[in-house]
Homo-oligomer: A and B are copies of this chain.
Amino acid sequence: MSNLKPIIILVDTQLAENIGLAARAMYNFGLENLSLVRPKIGWPSEKAEAVSVDALPIIKNAKCYDTLKEALVGVQYSYAFTARSREMDKKEITNEEVVKKIVLNENQNSNIAVVFGGEQSGLTNDDISLVSECVSIQTDNLFSSLNLSHAVTVFCHSLFALQNSEKNNEIRKGETRVVDHSKLHHFFDHLEHELDVRGFFEPIEKKPSMLIKLRNIFHRAELSEREIASLRGVLTSLTKYREKQEK
Contacts and interface: CB of A to CB of B under 8 A. Distances in A.
B171 A213 contact: yes
Interface string A220-247: 1111000100110111011111100100
Interface in A96-134: 96
Contact of A25 (B150, B214, B230): B150
Nearest to A235: B238
A136 interface: no
Given A139-B29, A149-B150, A227 B240 contact: no
A144 interface: yes
Interface stretch (A39-47, A59-67, A85-93, A154-162): A154-162
A102 B221 CA distance: 22
B238 A217 contact: no
Interface stretch (A74-82, A178-186, A192-200): A192-200
Contacts of A158: 157, 161
A14 interface: no
A146 B153 CA distance: 10
Given A27-B140, A161-B96, A195 B237 contact: yes
A164 interface: yes
Contact of A153 (B29, B154, B214): B154
Given A25-B150, A214-B230, A220-B222, A237 B198 contact: yes
Nearest to A55: B143
Given A144-B28, A234-B195, A241-B242, A137 B150 contact: no
B150 A54 contact: no
Nearest to A149: B150
Most buried by B among A142, A145, A237: A237
Given A213-B227, A216-B171, A237-B200, A160 B143 contact: no
Question: Which 9 A-B residue pairs are closest in the complex by CB-CB distance?
Answer: A30-B140, A221-B221, A200-B237, A241-B242, A238-B238, A150-B153, A54-B143, A27-B143, A220-B221
17 contacts: A17-B17, A25-B150, A28-B150, A29-B139, A30-B140, A96-B161, A137-B157, A158-B161, A198-B237, A199-B237, A200-B233, A217-B231, A220-B222, A238-B238, A238-B239, A239-B239, A241-B241
